[in-house]
């Protein structure tokens, strides 16, 4: 009881602090105890003193404990009508009351190149976690089933909406999910038999030129968790400022991207997205809205800056550092080995152009790639990043294309930074030169009047990540082993490789960034290496298992050269072995304490989030655990976390 009073007090103090900041409209509309006095289903939870539910599974539609229609109507009333029961868009493709041939044609042919999926209350971009369900296909047979999609959605535009949803889910033992822009590769914004909090419309923004917190004094931006990256770029133009964001403009600026780090073009210069936060507004599992910063709710302030999505609460708003305007200078390099003669094949992946450097001997090609990878350390040590793709095309044919970006440099300065790469290539006998006229210097902030189309639409991709440490560049032997593991995966395994040079060190992260829960593997990492595998929707369970075993061989090869390397949850695999250590490193224990203290009920859950081992989806399509769709009931496993290795 005392505990809950203390928290209640904290809330009002925190809210005043927010108000002095100039609270956002979305933060000022809150749920009060009086509002739910007559509605037990939406009452606040008592702080840890409450007896958490010990039921084995979450309620599920059709079971006795699923809330009645009347209860849902009362929730809707408390929400002021913001409760949705969305029809799945692809129902338009199936016989029945929602059949609509034109809409179905749009979904099949055009939706992926539009903003459609980003604006929809339930859709997500990766298909396999949806399970057996309503795929958008022409001339569909069968029926449109709900798969891993939620039953109800709260269209949240205020803190009050989020609070009512959290209270209702907790009190009724209903599975709760959070969807922002739906880009997560592992199905973390899905869940059968759930209530979803859709944060898309939490997008208020304010710029505060004068602000002081702890060691920081300067300008900040304070905005809602549902803001989209392209909007952030628009605000940068409008206010003549820089904020750290992702290059991909349809990602949420403060949802999943931020929750496990968040990288972009300024990652080696100003750090990750999570490194920028000075304060966060969050609705915790008991339904209370609190401010977390370095003075109050410090456990949350630590955990929410990199400690994973959908775990400790619903982030509603963030206050981030802003910087003066900055430019980026970018340069590209393309190398191909025996590109196919066929014009269509040449145009695919990394298209062959006049600027492509051709190498016919595969072993020489890999020598050139190794010289390039060596140079990645130099890129990050000079504040830059790169972004490259290496595609195997069969028959010893490969294409490689990279884009290197140095912030705050003129073209001449960038050319000087690129010189060591070209010198090394030429010294090794490759007649590859830098085209200085192709160096482009552009402002980091840009504005677009139209929302951007999603960059790859619905996708069958599964990313498998390794954050390769600096140590693998320090020794020639280890570097050679690293290149050999990468080459094996591409040349023998046949997997495309996507790598990014990123140096988000503690020094770059600064204060308070370095005090957050960002995976320590980011801090001494140089390269984020991603093997790209495919799991098409409706892949047979046996095929999924076989592919898992095949890919596992090559991911194991990468782990062997960097056993403690860690991985990036947002572009990693939900089947990652030992994900607790890979995704959270030595922070796992501390984060688990925060999780247990803040969410004793198990309100929040998503695959591979802290404490996630205690739950599993009883999925109905027979995939192995690591590839489980979200189409079944969420139940307790009875497992608690035990580390197999104690040397970390």
Ligand X SMILES: *[C@@H]1O[C@H](CO)[C@@H](O)[C@H](O)[C@H]1NC(C)=O
- Contacting residues toward ligand FAD, per CB under 6 A: 125, 177-185, 188-189, 199, 225, 246-248, 251-252, 255-257, 259, 262-264, 309-310, 314-315, 455-456, 570-571, 606
247: partner contacted, choices ligand FAD, ligand X, none (Cβ within 5-8 A by kind): ligand FAD
Residues 437-476 as x/- pattern, contact with ligand X by CB under 6 A? xx--------------------------------------
262: partner contacted, choices ligand X, ligand FAD, none (Cβ within 5-8 A by kind): ligand FAD
Structural tokens at position 29: 């509309």
Tell me if 404 contacts ligand X by CB under 6 A. no
Tell me if 201 contacts ligand X by CB under 6 A. yes
Tell me if 141 contacts ligand X by CB under 6 A. no
Q: CA 295, CA 146: separation in Å to the nearest integer?
A: 44
Q: Looking at 150-189, which runs of residues are DSSP E strands?
A: 152-155, 175-179
Nearer to ligand FAD, 251 or 468 (CB): 251
How far apart are CB 395 and ligand X at their closest, in Å? 4
Q: Minimal CA–CA distance to 281: which of 289, 269, 273?
A: 289
Tell me if 83 contacts ligand X by CB under 6 A. yes
Tell me if 355 contacts ligand X by CB under 6 A. yes
Size of the site for ligand X (CB under 6 A): 28
Structural tokens at position 523: 């801090």
Q: CA 441, CA 423: separation in Å to the nearest integer?
A: 23
Nearer to ligand FAD, 14 or 251 (CB): 251
437: partner contacted, choices ligand FAD, ligand X, none (Cβ within 5-8 A by kind): ligand X
Nearer to ligand X, 48 or 105 (CB): 105
**5-24 exposure pattern, b = at least 16 Cβ within 10 A, e = fewer:** eebeeebeebbebbeebebb
Count the neighbouring beta carbons within 10 Å of the beta carbon of residue 317. Answer: 28
Nearer to ligand X, 169 or 592 (CB): 169
Q: CA 72, CA 162: separation in Å to the nearest integer?
A: 15
User: What backbone phi and psi angles, to 5 degrees, belong to 439?
Assistant: -70, 125
Tell me if 240 contacts ligand X by CB under 6 A. yes
DSSP per-residue letters across 4-18:
HHHHHHHHHHHHHHH
Nearer to ligand FAD, 117 or 554 (CB): 117
Q: CA 1, CA 7: separation in Å to the nearest integer?
A: 10
- Decide: 312 and 600 in contact? Cβ < 8 Å: no
How far apart are CB 546 and ligand X at their closest, in Å? 21
DSSP per-residue letters across 111-147:
GGGSSHHHHSSS--SB-GGG-S-----TT--S----T
Tell me if 142 contacts ligand X by CB under 6 A. no
355: partner contacted, choices ligand X, ligand FAD, none (Cβ within 5-8 A by kind): ligand X
Q: CA 240, CA 248: separation in Å to the nearest integer?
A: 20
252: partner contacted, choices ligand FAD, ligand X, none (Cβ within 5-8 A by kind): ligand FAD
Which chain residues interact with ligand X by CB under 6 A? Answer: 76, 81, 83-85, 102, 105-106, 109-110, 121, 138-139, 155, 157, 201, 240, 324-325, 340, 354-355, 394-395, 408, 435, 437-438
């Amino acid at each position: 009881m005392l505990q809950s009073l203390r928290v209640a007090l904290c809330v009002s103090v925190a809210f005043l602090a927010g108000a002095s900041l100039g609270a956002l409209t979305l933060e000022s509309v809150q749920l009060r105890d009086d509002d739910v006095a007559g509605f037990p289903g939406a009452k606040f939870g008592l702080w840890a003193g409450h007896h958490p539910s010990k039921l084995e599974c979450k309620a599920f539609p059709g079971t006795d404990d699923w809330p009645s229609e009347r209860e849902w109507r009362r929730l809707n009333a408390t929400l002021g009508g913001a409760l949705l029961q969305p029809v799945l868009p692809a129902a338009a493709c199936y016989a029945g009351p929602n059949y609509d041939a034109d809409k179905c044609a749009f979904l099949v042919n055009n939706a992926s190149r539009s903003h459609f999926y980003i604006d929809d209350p339930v859709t997500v971009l990766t298909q396999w976690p949806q399970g057996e369900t309503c795929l958008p296909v022409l001339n569909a047979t069968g029926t449109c089933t709900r798969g891993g999609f939620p039953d109800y959605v709260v269209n949240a535009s205020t803190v009050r909406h989020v609070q009512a949803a959290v209270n209702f889910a907790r009190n009724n033992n209903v599975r709760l999910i959070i969807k922002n822009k739906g880009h997560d590769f592992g199905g973390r914004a899905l869940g059968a038999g759930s209530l979803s909090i859709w944060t898309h419309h939490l997008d208020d923004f304010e710029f505060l030129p004068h602000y002081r917190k702890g060691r920081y004094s300067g300008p900040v931006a304070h905005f809602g968790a549902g803001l989209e990256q392209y909007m952030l770029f628009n605000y940068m133009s409008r206010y003549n400022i820089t904020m750290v964001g992702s290059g991909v403009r349809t990602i949420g600026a403060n949802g999943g991207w931020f929750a496990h780090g968040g990288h972009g073009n300024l990652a080696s210069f100003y750090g990750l997205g999570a490194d920028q936060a000075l304060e966060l507004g969050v609705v915790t599992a008991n339904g209370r809205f609190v401010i977390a910063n370095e003075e109050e709710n410090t456990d949350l302030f630590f955990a929410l800056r990199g400690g994973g999505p959908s775990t400790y609460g619903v982030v509603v708003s963030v206050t981030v550092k802003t910087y003066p305007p900055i430019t980026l200078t970018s340069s590209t390099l393309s190398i191909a080995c025996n590109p196919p003669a066929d014009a269509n094949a040449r145009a695919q992946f990394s298209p062959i152009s006049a600027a492509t450097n051709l190498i016919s001997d595969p072993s020489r090609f890999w020598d050139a790639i190794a010289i390039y990878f060596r140079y990645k350390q130099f890129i990050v040590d000079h504040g830059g990043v790169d972004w490259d793709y290496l595609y195997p095309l069969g028959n010893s044919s490969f294409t490689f294309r990279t884009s290197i970006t140095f912030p705050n440099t003129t073209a001449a300065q960038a050319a000087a930074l690129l010189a060591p790469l070209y010198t090394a290539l030429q010294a090794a006998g490759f007649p590859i030169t830098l085209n200085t006229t192709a160096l482009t210097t552009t402002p980091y902030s840009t504005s677009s009047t139209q929302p951007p189309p999603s960059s790859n639409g619905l996708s069958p991709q599964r990313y498998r990540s390794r954050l390769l440490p600096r140590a693998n560049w320090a020794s020639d032997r280890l570097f050679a082993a690293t290149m050999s593991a990468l080459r094996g995966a591409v040349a023998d395994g046949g997997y495309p490789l996507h790598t990014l040079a990123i140096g988000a060190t503690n020094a770059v992260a600064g204060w308070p960034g370095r005090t957050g829960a960002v995976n320590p593997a980011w801090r001494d990492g140089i390269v984020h290496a991603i093997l790209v595998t495919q799991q098409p929707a409706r892949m047979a369970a046996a095929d999924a298992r076989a592919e898992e075993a095949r890919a596992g061989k090559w991911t194991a090869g990468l782990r062997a050269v960097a056993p403690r390397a860690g991985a990036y949850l947002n572009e990693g695999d939900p089947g990652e072995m030992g994900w607790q250590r890979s995704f959270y490193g030595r922070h796992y224990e501390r984060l688990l304490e925060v999780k247990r203290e803040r969410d004793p009920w198990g309100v929040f859950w998503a695959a591979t989030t802290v404490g996630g081992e205690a739950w599993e989806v009883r999925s109905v399509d027979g995939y192995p655990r690591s590839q489980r769709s979200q189409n079944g009931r969420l139940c307790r496993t009875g497992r608690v976390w035990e580390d197999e290795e104690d040397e970390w």
